[in-house]
Structures are given as C-alpha cells and as structure tokens.
Amino acid sequence: MIADLLPLALKQRLLTVLVTPIDNLALAQSLKSPVFGCDDNDLKCLAHCDSAWWQGLLAWSEQSDAPPRIKRAAQLLSGWQGLAGSLPVHDLLDRIFHQADVLQRYADAAPEHLRTGVLANLQGFLALSLEHEGGRYPSLPRFLEELRQLRVQAGAGDSPDEVSAATGDAVRMLTIHSAKGLEAPVVFLIKADQNSGPDSAYNVIMDWPPDSERPTHFSLHGGKEWRGPGRDELFAQNKAQAGRERLNLLYVAMTRARQALFISGLEKPARSTEATSENWLTLASEALEQADLAQHPEMVWTEPDGQLGLASIPAEDASVPVAYHAGIGSRVDSGGPEADFGVQVHGWLQGLCEDWPRERMIAQFACDATLLPDIEAAAQRILAIPELAAAFDPARHVRAFNELEFLDIDGRVARIDRLVEFEAETWVLDYKTGGLREPDLAKRALPHLAQMSGYRAAASHLFAGKPVRVALAFADGRVYWV
C-alpha cells in the first residue's frame, strides 16, 4: 500500500512500538513496512503466539530456524527501545535511519513516480525532529504528541495523502511541513490572512539555553490576565522566538515555487498590532512595500476584489515577465517532422552549452538515430557562427541561461533559447531551423519579429539598465540581428 511507503509509518507505527511495544497493530504495521519487509505469513505466526506479539517476536528471533528478517527486526527494535529513553529524538531517528538503511529501503519499495516525494518527506521528517522547538523534547511520547497536535492544527487528519508525491497536471494540497523538500512550478499559499492561534490558557514557559544541560527556568502559567510581571522578559523572548519560527515557515512555503507564487487571503482590519504581526499576508505586503521593485519589475502586488496576490504587471508591453526560470527544455510544438527536428536541434544545443555527455543528450531529447547526424551538424553550424562566438564562450560573458522560461501578461509560457549577460549589454539568441530556403535574411526573419520584440522586452525588464541585442541564429550558419 502507498500508506506503507510514507513517513506515517515512522511517525505513528515504528516510534509507537518503541514507546508501547504491547501495541500489536503498530508492531504489525512496522514489520510490514519497508524498514523490515516482513510478509503476511510472518504476522500469522506472531498471531498464533500465546504471549503478546512483542514477546513472541523476541522469542521467535532466538530460534535457530527464524528467518533473517525476524532476527533483524527483533535486534534493531530492541536496541532502539533501549535508547528511546536516553537519546534526543533526532539522534534516535538518525540512528534508526542509519542502522535500518531507511532511505534505501523506501527507495527500493516506492514506485518510480513516488520515489522522489517519499524520500524528500522522510528527510523532511528527520529535519522536523531537529528544527521544531530546537529538537528538545522531554521524551519520545512528548514528540509523538507534538506531531499529533501539528496534524490537528493543519487539518491533516490521518490520511497518508498529506505526503503524496503525485506528478503531472494535478493540484496537490499539502501542509507546509509536508511540502518541505518538494518544489512545484506554481504554488498557491492560501489562507495567508489567518493569524496564529491565541496562547493556551494554561501552558509552560521555559528557558533552556543551547549550551546548558538543563533549563534555567521552568514554570506553568495561565492566561495573560493571570500573569505577573516577573516573567515578562521570558514571555517576550518566547514571543520573539515564535515570530522567527513563523517567518521560517513562511520562507519554506514561499521557496517551494520554482516559477510563480500566489499568496492569497482576505485583507481585514487588524484588531491589534500583535495580531497583525502574525499574519503572513500582512508580512508579505509590508515586505513588498519596503522592497525596491524597480530592481524586480517582474513582480507586483495587486488587490483584486479585496484579495492580495502576486500577479502580472499592467504594462504597455504585453511581454513583461511575471516569473521566470531556467531549466531543461520541454517544448510542445505543433508536430510534424520539421517541428520534431527543430525541437531536437534546440535540445542538442542546450546539451552542448551545458557540457552534457552525448549519451544523456540522446536519451534526454529522444533523438532519432537516423536524423542524429543532421541534428548535430545543424547545432554545430549555429555554434560556429563567428558573430555569436562570445555568447558561447564562458570566458567572454558574465553568465548565460539556456531555455529561459517566463510568463507573459496573459499567463502564457514563452521561452528564450539562450540569454547571455555581458558586462555592458545582454544578448537574446533564438535558434531557427525552418525557412532556410529563403536567401533573403530580412524576409526570413519577418515572421519572427513580433516574437523577438517580446523577448527583447522581457530581457530589458529582467536585466534593467543594459541594452539588449536580439539575434536569430539559423541552422544554415547565418545570423540576423533584429
């Protein structure tokens, strides 16, 4: 089951076994997880034991004919149980991951399309044990209780879908914690207008410096109206730390987006400064007001119907970029042999510019073996154009981007084949493999002038202050400067 491939097995099953080994269900689920790889027949044998399953497992492992997986499970679980009361939770989990080879076992068990997400979430769970409240928990049960409360606050329920690694054209609903380590082209951060919940009426205030063996202060407290002034400094420190944690969480959420980020919520009058400071929508709005957007004209803050979000810029030129990124080309053309040939030449040029091995280029761009000589020849003719030599020589320019994607004002994806930044100017190169029978370069370039105008506008905004030169590089080795 997919559920057995997710960190839920570690959170609610394996760790539960270390706390309460008499929990037969948790033990059974742990044994069937990829950590131990036991099968239904193993569980049937344990079910017929006269004693509890935990005692039955230990007794079975001591028999000479016990399967190696049973001996391994008993040995590992017994060792971890002995350490559960003395090691910090993160150190215990780190040992579990190492001794049981958790990442490799889950990688082998997970379907290929889920593997990346499963491993990312396992690593994120390990990081959570260290990051949340400084990794300090009085006990493993306390850590499990904190996890349960986090799930309740996030509304995650008990479904393993919270860490689903689905791919393709789909919308994935994730909590910020479960999204750690994952990325997506477009991310919507919803309900950003919500403040963190009020302090509990009864709670603990604690001061535990990182270099101390024990807390320097530990006491209980009630609501604000019941607190005396003697601990005001501690409450102020606790509030500041909580604010930093919320900012860290906001940072994690915002950096999940590779291409475009939308932050949404309702703008409401703040009841108090304290409530406003905990509102991510307000924090993002204030940050943008302070930012020098002249240096980042691809971003803007708008207020459609009372909602705030990152959106396109209402500029005169319809090609101003909303977001951009460089990556492996994934072109979608109209089809046909000529279009396919063009896609493969573009891919081959990208591979050559980024020093890919030839085998990777053939596999990555699905090059037709019969057309491979023509593809390579066309790419080499473009690379050999003398006027463009500086664009392909890293020693002669500041930096270069291949397959640079951006969203225009209508939300359409456009792609610059190669953008090169020099000290004094920026070049935009567009590769063309069609229309080579036309000897007049001006006529050959005519159908592409509107497209190049949009590319020029995008480069001008992305690299403000530098003049932009645009060139059409044709596969017959000729170049036309627009």
Give the model's pLDDT for residue 310: 36
Report which secondary-structure segment, H or E, holds 260: strand 257-263
Provide the Cα torsion 10, 14, 15, 17; round to 10°.
160
Does this model's pTM top 0.85? My answer is: no
DSSP 174-231: --TTTTTT--EEEEEE--TTPPPPPPPSSEEEEE--TT-SS-SEEEEE--GGG--GGG
Nearest CA-CA partner of 177 in 112, 231, 121: 121
Residues 217 and 130 in one domain: no
Q: Are residues 331 and 299 located together in one domain of the fold?
A: no
- Residues with Cβ within 8 Å of 149's Cβ and at least 6 positions away in sequence, in order, are none
Tokens of 62: 């001591």
Q: Which helix (H) or strand (E) holds 324?
A: strand 324-326
Q: Evaluate whether residue 185 is within a structural domain.
A: no
Q: Tell me, what's the pLDDT at 332? A: 39
197 occurs within a structural domain: no
Distance (Å, whole) CA 284 – CA 176: 16
Predicted confidence at residue 412, as pLDDT, reads 65
- Residue 253 maps to a domain: yes
61 and 142: one domain? Answer: yes
Q: Say yes or no: 51 and 165 in one domain.
A: yes
Neighbours of 361 (CB within 10 A): 22
Residues 439 and 472 in one domain: yes
Looking at residue 152, what is its pLDDT?
59
In whole angstroms, what is the distance from residue 412 CA to residue 449 CA?
A: 18
Judge whether 315 lies within some domain: no
Give every CB contact of residue 285 below 8 A, 6+ residues apart in sequence.
301, 308
Residues 25 and 160 in one domain: yes
User: How many whole angstroms separate alpha carbon 233 and alpha carbon 137?
Assistant: 23
Over the Cα atoms of the chain, what is R_g? Answer: 29
Structural domain includes residue 195: no
DSSP at 307: B
Which two tokens mark 48?
A: 């017929």
Whether residue 306 is found in the same domain as residue 334: no
Task: Please report the pLDDT score of residue 187 as a whole number.
Answer: 85
Q: How far apart are the first and last CA of the chain?
A: 57
Is 456 a member of any domain?
yes
Nearest to 174 by CA among 196, 145, 151, 148: 151
* The pLDDT value given to residue 137: 54
User: What's the rounded Cα separation, in Å, for the pair 108 and 277?
Assistant: 45
Of 172, 194, 221, the residue that ends a domain is 172
Q: What is the 3-state secondary structure (H, E, C) of 392-457?
A: HCHHHCCEEEEEEEEECCCCCEEEEEEEEECCCCEEEEEEECCCCCCCCHHHHHHHHHHHHHHHHH
Same domain as 462, residue 399: yes
Quick one: which of 112, 264, 253 has its CA closest to 184?
A: 253
DSSP string, 105-148: HHHHHS-HHHHHHHHHHHHHHHHHHHHGGGG--SSHHHHHHHHH
> For the chain, which ranges sit under pLDDT 70?
1-12, 130-138, 149-170, 177-182, 196-201, 267-278, 291-336, 364-368, 407-412
**What pLDDT shows up at residue 474?**
92
Domain count, the chain: 3
- What is residue 50's DSSP assignment? S
User: Which residue, 172, 194, 223, sits at the end of a domain?
Assistant: 172
Same-domain pairing of 15 and 68 = yes
Closest by CA to 350, choosing from 330, 371, 329, is 329
- Final residue belonging to a domain, choices 245, 275, 310: 310
Shared domain for 11 and 149, answered yes or no, is yes
408 and 269, same domain (yes or no):
no
The tens digit of pLDDT for each residue in 18-34 reads: 888 888 888 988 898 88
According to the model, what pLDDT value does residue 19 have?
A: 85
The position carrying tokens 């379907």 is: 111
Asked if residue 191 is part of any domain, the answer here is no
Q: Which domain holds residue 379?
A: 324-481
What tokens were used for 383?
């690379």
